[in-house]
Amino acid sequence: MGSIVRFENVGLRYGSDGGSDGETLSDLNFALAPGAFYFLTGASGAGKTSLLRLLYLAQRPTRGVIQLFDEDVVTVPRERLPGFRRRIGVVFQDFRLIPYLSVYDNVALPLRVAGVEERDLDAPVREMLAWVGLASRSDALPATLSGGEQQRVAIARAVIGRPEILVADEPTGNVDPEMAGRLLHLFDALNRLGTTIVVATHDIHLLSRVSNAQTLRLEAGRLSDPTGALRYPPRTGA
Ligand SMILES: Nc1ncnc2c1ncn2[C@@H]1O[C@H](COP(=O)(O)OP(=O)(O)OP(=O)(O)O)[C@@H](O)[C@H]1O
């Protein structure tokens, strides 16, 4: 125990070209503490999305060890990956809402996939829609929503299954500062319920808006540690 995510000597290279220095991500060594809030910052192209894709198991590293929930997820059999993915909520940079499903059905989707009975769906879905301020838009199709509203649907869908980790890639990228503040407030509230949060952003103004957040910074595929977040968290129960 002690960490919920652990990267050891992780590197990622896309394709087969490039020499030994052709990696997109290099020498990543860090651990994330359960229940903590992290911002991942860095310039465009620094590798933020790539690191998040490793974290939510959309991409395997070229080298190194990645542990989630104290298990090695690089060598784990493929059929076990969905079980890990269900424990991680993802807010994609481009939302990825299902265009032909209503707001309600988009948010209900993870519960339906997890086999929750229809009669048990309604209350949590309506509660979540109210939480993100979209109770009155539940029948709308995504294309009829504003960018900020779509972003909130994406967030509701990511958190409805009560993931242990929430990963969000530029979740305030398309909204005005007021909406960005509201979305961060949602993440903060979720964090207070115990969810570990990782938010990638190149908007450094966001960083000061969550009082207990730590910052990880990527520069050309390597992590630096402005707030000391990378120090391995103390092991409990020692
Ligand atoms: N599927 C891919 N195949 C090849 N190269 C890729 C792929 N995805 C990303 N890259 C490259 O990896 C580097 C890092 O990209 P990444 O999207 O991870 O950066 P980022 O920090 O998230 O950028 P942004 O803030 O612009 O989203 C870039 O040079 C990009 O071109």
48-84 pLDDT, tens per residue? 999 999 999 999 999 999 999 999 999 999 999 988 9
| Structure confidence at residue 177 as a pLDDT band (50, 70, 90) | confident
Question: What are the tokens at 127?
Answer: 């509660």
Strands in 42-181 per DSSP E:
63-68, 71-72, 88-91, 165-169
The reported pLDDT for the residue numbered 205 is: 83
Q: What is the pTM of this model?
A: 0.89
CB 187 within 8 A of CB 194: no
HSE, side-chain direction, 13 A CA sphere, residue 183:
28
Which residue has the CA at smallest separation from atom 1 of ligand 1?
A: 14
H/E segment holding residue 14: none
Which residue has the CA at smallest separation from atom 4 of ligand 1?
A: 14
| Structure confidence at residue 237 as a pLDDT band (50, 70, 90) | very low
The pLDDT of residue 41 is above 50:
yes
| Phi and psi at residue 3, to the nearest 5° | -135, 150
Q: What is the mean pLDDT of the chain?
A: 89
| Phi and psi at residue 44, to the nearest 5° | -55, 130
The reported pLDDT for the residue numbered 73 is: 94
Percent over 70 (pLDDT), the chain: 92
Q: Using the mean position of ligand 1's atoms as its centre, give its distance from the Cα of residue 48 in Å.
A: 8
Question: What are the tokens at 171?
Answer: 């979740």
Average pLDDT over residues 10-15: 93
Identify how many contiguous H helices and E strands the chain contains and give both numbers: 6, 10
Domains of the chain: 1-13+24-87+163-229 (3.40.50.300), 99-161 (no CATH)
Q: 44: which residues sit within 8 A by CB, 6+ positions away?
A: 202
Q: What is the DSSP letter of 235?
A: P
Q: Using the mean position of ligand 1's atoms as its centre, give its distance from the Cα of residue 91 in Å.
A: 17
More confident: 186 or 54: 54
| Structure confidence at residue 17 as a pLDDT band (50, 70, 90) | low
The reported pLDDT for the residue numbered 21 is: 60
Nearest to 197 by CA among 19, 35, 2, 15: 35
Q: Which atom of ligand 1 is nearest to the CA of 218?
A: 21
